Amino acid sequence: MVGNQTENMSRLLAIMERLRDPKTGCPWDVAQTFATIAPYTIEEAYEVADAIAKNDTAALKDELGDLLLQVVFHARIAEEAGQFSFADVVQAICDKMTRRHPHVFGDAKVKDAAAQTIAWESIKAAERAAAGNKDQPVSVLDGLPAGLPALKQAEKLQKRAARVGFDWTEAKDVLGKIREELEEVAAEFDVAVPANDRLTDEVGDLLFACVNLARKANIDPGMALRGTNLKFDRRFRRVETLLAANGRTPEQATLSEMEALWVQAKNEERGVT
């Protein structure tokens, strides 16, 4: 198995080298840069997450391959520029994983997964401090990518703050904050037209509080929302199918009709008759 893995990895690297050949390669691949490929890298990561959410292991295998190709693509561009190679990428992650797991590859001891998470974050913080700008004050929030999706960025900001004790005690404690933020959103509708700056700010606060609730309940907010998106997609398509059975489209139906069909779709999924 190891031999096959090595052979296939070498084959993939050779394929990318050929695709990037300035004379005989693919014109599109040759024209790409780190910046032009980055959106595809992000897209492939989302497609991996989508396959996981759908519990589609066949698709997951395929999407992981696409994501691996992105890594190889970036590494090839870097190698051509004399910056680093795919082997350097592999060595770097191997060194990092060994360094961040001293309880596995060294003599350190951890009590459980929770203790390991704390130790992991402490090691990462030390790495950031060592690599940081000595003229800038060190913050527990340092190192968060600015390009993270807002939902994930909110979660990571909260986790970082929680490490130094700035956190809710229990998940249920966040419910009061959500109610408070919801009331402030409602108040903005009473004093101004929707979509003003204050309303935008209050809706953002509400979403941030909802992320806090998910985090404290050990729920990944992104995966939770992705699951809800899939559920909405599935149920609305059922509404469209039910309307089509009567020769109608959503545009031709009233809101009350669609809501009734939505309830029917929900009940069908739950086995309610």
Same structural domain for residues 197 and 211?
yes
pLDDT at 134: 60
Same structural domain for residues 177 and 255?
no
Domain that holds residue 244: 223-270
Cβ-based neighbours of 192, under 8 Å, separated by 6 or more: 198, 199
8 A C-beta contact, residue 143 and residue 133: no
Same structural domain for residues 204 and 248?
no
What's the mean pLDDT in 165-181?
93
Q: What is the DSSP string of 102-116?
A: HHHHSS---SSHHHH
Is residue 134 situated within a structural domain?
Answer: no
Q: Per-residue pLDDT for 188 more than 80?
A: yes
Model-level pTM greater than 0.85?
Answer: no
Same structural domain for residues 190 and 232?
no
Distances (CA, A) of 156 to 69, 71, 86, 273: 27, 24, 29, 43
Same structural domain for residues 13 and 83?
yes
Distances (CA, A) of 198 to 3, 76, 203: 60, 47, 9
pLDDT at 62: 97
Is residue 32 situated within a structural domain?
Answer: yes
Is residue 190 situated within a structural domain?
Answer: yes
* Residue keyed to tokens 């809706």: 203
Q: How many domains does the chain have?
A: 3
Is residue 197 situated within a structural domain?
Answer: yes
Same structural domain for residues 184 and 262?
no
8 A C-beta contact, residue 219 and residue 225: no
> Of 99, 127, 158, which residue is a domain's last?
99
Convert the pLDDT of each residue in 205-221 to its tens digit. Answer: 999 999 999 999 999 99
| Measured torsion, CA atoms of residues 214, 219, 220, 224, in degrees rounded to the nearest 10 | -80
Q: Per-residue pLDDT for 164 more than 60?
A: yes
Same structural domain for residues 173 and 86?
no
Q: What CATH number did the domain enclosing 175 receive?
A: 1.10.287.1080
Same structural domain for residues 7 and 53?
yes
Among the ranges given (40-44, 111-115, 211-215, 224-228), the one the predictor scored with the smallest mean pLDDT: 111-115
Is residue 11 situated within a structural domain?
Answer: yes
What's the mean pLDDT in 42-58?
92
273 band by pLDDT with thresholds 50, 70 and 90: low
136 band by pLDDT with thresholds 50, 70 and 90: low
Token code pair at residue 37: 């490929």
1 band by pLDDT with thresholds 50, 70 and 90: low
- List the Cα angle 222/223/228 in 5-degree steps: 100
pLDDT at 123: 75
Is residue 107 situated within a structural domain?
Answer: no
Is residue 126 situated within a structural domain?
Answer: no
Is residue 113 situated within a structural domain?
Answer: no
Same structural domain for residues 207 and 256?
no
What's the mean pLDDT in 259-263?
96
Same structural domain for residues 149 and 181?
yes
